[in-house]
Structure 1
Amino acid sequence: MHVRTGGDALLRPDDGDAFRQAVRAVRRGAGMPVSFGGQAAEGALRLSELAGVRTNMLKGLQVRAAAGLGGRVLTRGRPAAVSDYASSLTISHDYDAPVLAEGISSVVAAPVLVGGAVRGVLYGAARGAARLGDRAIDVVVGATRQLADELAVRDEVDRRLRLLRAAESTGPREQVALEEVRELHAEFRAIAQGLDDPALRDRLHHACDRLAGLGSQGEEARTASLTPRELDVLSQVALGCTNAEAGNRLSLRTETVKAYLRSAMHKLDVHNRHEAVVAARRQGLLP
């Protein structure tokens, strides 16, 4: 896995890795012989991820807006399919050479939509006389939605990191910055729970530990060992959330939140939620 280390994307893995996983999921999901896709930028699509191909002719292909099936999807922002690529009258045939060299006949393509913008396109294809049915279309569309959710989470993490850096550069607003650290800590822990990428989830947890160290009081040696879920709940409580609000943010039932909170209080040897937050901050578990 590649991780960008410059600028505002310190924690963000290369989005190409996410597209690669999605392309493989498309091929596995409906048993399609060929799947491919790539990211969109500046009104064009670059095919960078391929599975099941026989040639290198699709690799790195730049698909222009409105050109071919992918260009049509890129422009309209909606899934599209053709049952016989070579004779289809609904698309242009700018890319017949690389497509037909693969023996591809039936193709479905769907956009990866994030915030209304097309960030890429995924394709599933069959060769020869084989035809792709509704199942294949559902798999491709489902993969694009899951990929879009992943990219949206990464975008939100980047946005909040930029906010934190902006707060750090505006001068002596220590209390405002501290509150932002605490909000980021709670938000990152909530976001981490919804990630399918374990590497990114671990990186977010590591970032949370760093944020806790930045804002913590650090007055006592760490004596309590809280589970990730107990810390998730306590980070929300530290922002003043009720049990129900914490549950909504973490996708947990209220009773489950209460159970985690009771367990954290027991480990911290305190008697109420306020004391639990104070004790956790003193031990550097929370910012």
Structure 2
Amino acid sequence: MDEDVDAALRSSGTLDELIDERRQLALLLDRMALLRRIAEAARGTGGVDVGLVGDPGRGDEVVLRGLAGVEGESLRDLVVPRGLGLGGKAAALLRPVWVQDYVLSGTITHDFDAPVSAEGLRALLALPMRFGGQFTGVLYVGLRRPARFGDDAITRLQEIADDGAERLYVSERLEERTDAAVAAERGRIAAGLHDSVGAMLFTAGAELRDLRTDPGLSPEVTARLRSVERRIAEAASLFRESLAGLDETAPRQELHATLVADCKAFGARTGILARCVVVTPAPELDAGRRAALVAVAREALLNVEKHARASSVVVSLAGVDGGVSLAVADDGVGWSDTGPDPAWSSGRGLPTARERLERLGGSLSVVSDEEGGLTVRAWLP
């Protein structure tokens, strides 16, 4: 690679230094934001024009996402099967592959000449991303002029690819953990309903059948009992269907599960990516305290929907100082230099939530993030 690019690589820090510590959790939970940051880190660190991340798709392929420095849309969501083009070759060989001039190269297939040329790229380097024995994607860097990639540059960029691979791996594990927690809660609710309501319906139906067969009853009473028995049978059938569909409808009782449902509903309603995760184990709260934290989260999400112009939001729970900390962080426009957006501060939702928390011995704060966006943080003992 050219000397100026090598110099930029040598003077750069790690990906840890390039990503603000306060945004680590949000990035891990917002996969698209994480992909963009990895691409931006490679671009900024490598002194190149473009950074891209190929995210593993459903099949044996990667999909170009997390673009940094692109001028058009030709590469966005481009599907690259394993073995094809530069990234497909890197994914197949599991080693870095580069070309001095993409369109003129004789070492790769040319299935993607049109989108690459539309972006004006010439020199390209693709590096496999792996962590824990798992393939997590392909990191690309490119220049809009022919250039060579030296060993030092490739080594440094592979470090960024490996750092990014670890973060993507952790991101997937966090999401699996969240899904597992929700599934476990649904199972607990279903089992409890089956053992309580289900048992009562069965007992009521059995007692009605015994009563209906009493020879001393008049035909009219027998007919009415038969009608009630049918209704109980219908109710039991609907109840069983509801239990079977619990995975879809998922009524929630636990705080985490409730917030997961709220995030999913928020994302479906707004199109804004929303995630919820438990960062560290938290103590159990009574129903009143759980309701207070849920109210904070819902008010914060409503404000994100109305005012933030955000692309993602993360709701996190953690055990802090003997209590439970709730944080709702978005990547929106945040506050201006002169203070809070009047639209945020004029409403009664968050002030009311703060008063409610304070009555319970807790606290609430709203802070502006350095890179944009706001974080609403609540704590209850």
Q: Secondary structure in 1 aligned to 2:37? A: helix
1:2-36, Cα deviation, whole Å (9 max, x unpaired):
xxxxxxxxx97231111100000001102111221
2:155 corresponds to: 138
2:280 corresponds to: 208
**Given the alignment of the two structures, is residue 154 of structure 1 paired with residue 226 of structure 2, yes or no?**
no
- CA apart distance, 1:109: 0.6
**Given the alignment of the two structures, is residue 40 of structure 1 paired with residue 72 of structure 2, yes or no?**
no
Q: Secondary structure in 2 aligned to 1:69? A: helix
Q: Secondary structure in 1 aligned to 2:122? A: strand
1:102 to 90, 99, 119: 119
Q: Secondary structure in 1 aligned to 2:283? A: helix
- CA apart distance, 1:96: 1.1
Q: Tell me, in whole angstroms, the C-alpha distance in 1 between the residues paired with 2:100 and 2:107.
A: 11
Q: Structure 2 counterpart of 1:124, which letter? A: V
Q: Structure 2 counterpart of 1:212, which letter? A: P
- CA apart distance, 1:112: 2.0
Q: Which runs of 5+ in 2 are unaligned?
A: 1-26, 193-275, 287-318, 323-379
Q: What TM-score comes out, normalization by structure 1 length?
A: 0.53
1:208/1:214 Cα in 2 relative to 1: closer, same or farther (>3 Å)? farther
1:88 corresponds to: 105
- CA apart distance, 1:69: 0.4
1:100-122, Cα deviation, whole Å (9 max, x unpaired):
23332221111222443322211
1:70-117, Cα deviation, whole Å (9 max, x unpaired):
111222322211222222222101111221233322211112224433
Q: Tell me, in whole angstroms, the C-alpha distance in 1 between the residues paired with 2:79 and 2:277.
A: 34
1:81/1:129 Cα in 2 relative to 1: closer, same or farther (>3 Å)? closer
1:119 corresponds to: 136
Q: Tell me, in whole angstroms, the C-alpha distance in 2 between the residues paired with 1:16 and 1:85.
A: 27
**Given the alignment of the two structures, is residue 19 of structure 1 paired with residue 35 of structure 2, yes or no?**
yes
Q: Tell me, in whole angstroms, the C-alpha distance in 2 between the residues paired with 1:78 and 1:143.
A: 14
1:260 corresponds to: none
- Aligned identity (percent) is 34
- Whose strand proportion is higher, 1 or 2? 2
Q: Structure 2 counterpart of 1:208, which letter? A: T
1:162-205, Cα deviation, whole Å (9 max, x unpaired):
55556653669xxxxxxxxxxxxxxxxxxxxxxxxxxxxxx767
Aligned length: 185
Q: Secondary structure in 2 aligned to 1:24? A: helix
Q: What TM-score comes out, normalization by structure 2 length?
A: 0.41
1:136/1:103 Cα in 2 relative to 1: closer, same or farther (>3 Å)? farther
Counterpart contact for 2:137–2:165, Cα < 8 Å: no
1:221-278, Cα deviation, whole Å (9 max, x unpaired):
xxxxxxx9998xxxxxxxxxxxxxxxxxxxxxxxxxxxxxxxxxxxxxxxxxxxxxxx
Counterpart contact for 1:34–1:53, Cα < 8 Å: yes
Q: Which runs of 5+ in 1 are unaligned?
A: 1-10, 173-202, 216-227, 232-283
Q: Structure 1 counterpart of 2:44, which letter? A: R
- Counting only pairs closer than 5 Å after superposition, residues 143-222 of structure 1 correspond to structure 2 as 143-161=160-178, 164=181, 169=187, 207-208=279-280, 211-213=282-284
- CA apart distance, 1:145: 1.0
Q: Tell me, in whole angstroms, the C-alpha distance in 1 between the residues paired with 2:142 and 2:90.
A: 15
Q: Secondary structure in 2 aligned to 1:208? A: coil
